[in-house]
């Protein structure tokens, strides 16, 4: 088995409009390296000062009381479920239309993912949650896909009625809002990733959790650092999942720009919306007045999968990095074989996986790039 990433990065460079924009984002990396020197001099590598600063920055940014920085978005999810006492044999309700890590976090602690189909917004369909609740349901785990918050009012109602806590997968959703409230601030836990491809990112892996209750906060502080109190007391058995001081330093640097780069994503997405709405074969997401999406991805759908696949080919031939996030939903992945799901079990997730396409929407996509992409989409429909 080989690591596919180096090949992937080389291929990315053949596009003129790319999903990957990190070398531009960190063009001013010398400022960060200067801070690194200080950290190295001080031997401040784990749970250092920059980690405290980062946690405080996030508290301020999202107006939250408790924030704990951890090793990754996956760990944020896994440790949140741990804090809730989710264990072997329990069930967690979630969506089949997500990144692998959402489900991996549930499965690695021994729980079973119970899928609920999505709606046209690519998010879990709240109407279909209640029928999946059993005595074993220990958490509801909605994913705010592409930075569009799920229908939280309905999900919160269900959570209250059955007394089942919510863990939000907000890995796509930093600064996204629903009814003026931030993604990650609805449930007991809001989980975020700092992976290089997320809106707020670092030079490797990282994540953090926004937490409602003090007792959960205290539990999370223990779990991320071996269950240690001070140096000599092991209160509970825990994990090693700390945000590196060096990565916290990178995150703190980028945090200064997060509002700007979110604004640019929104601006670009609206420009795409405007340019694409005239194509009769294209289905755009319905934009809702109470949702402030942050467009981790800019996605739309085609009338059928053949059209979608041909459009992607056409765009790639024109050096535009069109992608699919993702072509196979979780219930049909080889890893899910043990659950014996089959084609047709979650029709909306399958339909969207077969017809969706994502375009680069980050802050380095310029107006002229968007116009170029729109022109190429126009030529595709004229030709085909």
Ligand X SMILES: *Cc1c(COP(=O)(O)O)cnc(C)c1O
**Interface positions with ligand X (CB under 6 A):** 72-74, 98-99, 101-102, 143, 169, 171-172, 193, 195, 205, 207
CB 260 to ligand X: min, Å:
22
Nearer to ligand X, 168 or 363 (CB): 168
CB of 188 to ligand X, least distance (A): 17
Upper half-sphere CA count for residue 122 (Cβ side, 13 Å) = 33
Measured from the CB atom, the residue of 114 and 209 that comes closer to ligand X is 209
Residue nearest to ligand X (CB): 73
Which residues lie closer than 8 Å to 30 by C-beta, 6 or more apart? none
Report how far residue 358's alpha carbon sits from residue 316's, in angstroms, rounded to the nearest whole number. Answer: 12
Our CB check for ligand X shows the closer of 172 and 331 to be 172
* Minimum gap (Å) between residue 100 Cβ and ligand X: 8
Bridge partners of 113, per DSSP, are 92
Closer to ligand X by Cβ: residue 144 or 301? 144
CB 74, min distance to ligand X, A:
3
CB-facing half-sphere around the CA of 295: CA atoms within 13 A: 27
Comparison of 74 and 356: residue with beta carbon closer to ligand X: 74
Query: Smaller CB distance to ligand X: residue 105 or 311?
Result: 105
Residue 106 CB, shortest distance to ligand X, in Å, is 11
Q: How far apart are CA 358 and CA 300, in angstroms?
A: 7
To the nearest whole angstrom, how small is the minimum distance from the Cβ of residue 97 to ligand X? 10
- Of 246 and 373, nearer to ligand X (C-beta) is 246
Residue 55 DSSP SS3: helix
Q: Is the dihedral of CA 379, 380, 382, 384 positive or negative?
A: positive
Q: Least distance to ligand X from the beta carbon of 98, Å?
A: 5
Taking the complex as a whole, the smallest distance from the CB of residue 4 to ligand X amounts, in Å, to 16
CB 207 within 8 A of CB 243: yes
Q: Which is nearer to ligand X, 361 or 377 (CB)?
A: 361
Q: Name every residue whose Cβ is closer than 8 Å to that of residue 329 and which is 6 or more positions away in sequence.
A: 96, 97, 346, 349, 350, 353
- Measure the CA–CA gap between 137 and 287, rounded to whole angstroms: 32
Alpha carbon distances (Å) from 302 to 78, 137, 249, 296 = 35, 36, 41, 20
> Which residues are CB-neighbours of 3 under 8 A, at least 6 positions away?
none
């Amino acid at each position: 088995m080989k690591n596919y990433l180096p090949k992937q990065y080389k291929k990315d460079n053949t596009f003129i409009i790319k999903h990957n924009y990190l070398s531009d984002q960190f063009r001013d990396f010398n400022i960060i390296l200067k801070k690194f020197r200080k950290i190295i001099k001080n031997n401040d590598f784990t749970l250092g000062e920059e980690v405290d600063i980062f946690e405080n920055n996030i508290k301020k940014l999202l107006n939250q009381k408790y924030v704990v920085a951890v090793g990754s978005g996956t760990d944020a999810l896994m440790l949140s479920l741990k804090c809730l006492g989710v264990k072997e044999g329990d069930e967690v309700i979630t969506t089949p239309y997500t990144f692998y890590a959402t489900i991996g976090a549930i499965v690695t602690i021994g729980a079973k993912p119970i899928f609920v189909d999505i709606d046209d917004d690519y998010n879990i369909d709240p109407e279909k949650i209640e029928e999946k609740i059993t005595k074993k349901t220990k958490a509801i785990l909605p994913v705010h896909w592409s930075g569009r918050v799920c229908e939280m009012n309905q999900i919160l109602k269900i959570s209250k009625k059955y007394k089942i806590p919510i863990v939000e997968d907000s890995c796509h959703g930093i600064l996204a809002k629903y009814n003026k409230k931030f993604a990650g601030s609805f449930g007991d836990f809001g989980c975020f990733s700092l992976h290089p491809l997320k809106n707020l990112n670092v030079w490797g892996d990282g994540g953090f959790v926004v937490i409602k209750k003090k007792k959960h906060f205290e539990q999370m502080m223990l779990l991320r650092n071996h269950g240690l109190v001070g140096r000599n007391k092991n209160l509970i058995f825990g994990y090693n999942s700390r945000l590196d001081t060096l990565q916290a330093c990178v995150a703190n640097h980028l945090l200064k720009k997060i509002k700007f780069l979110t604004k640019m994503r929104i601006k670009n997405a609206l420009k795409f919306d405007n340019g694409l709405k005239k194509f009769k074969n294209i289905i755009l997401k319905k934009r809702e007045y109470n949702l402030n999406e942050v467009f981790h991805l800019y996605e739309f759908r085609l009338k059928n999968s053949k059209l979608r696949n041909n459009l992607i080919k056409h765009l790639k031939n024109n050096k535009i990095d069109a992608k699919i996030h993702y072509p196979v939903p979780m219930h049909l992945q080889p890893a899910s074989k043990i659950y014996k799901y089959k084609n047709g079990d979650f029709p909306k997730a399958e339909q969207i996986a077969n017809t969706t396409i994502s375009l680069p929407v980050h802050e380095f996509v310029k107006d002229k790039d968007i116009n170029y992409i729109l022109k190429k989409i126009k030529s595709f429909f004229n030709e085909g």
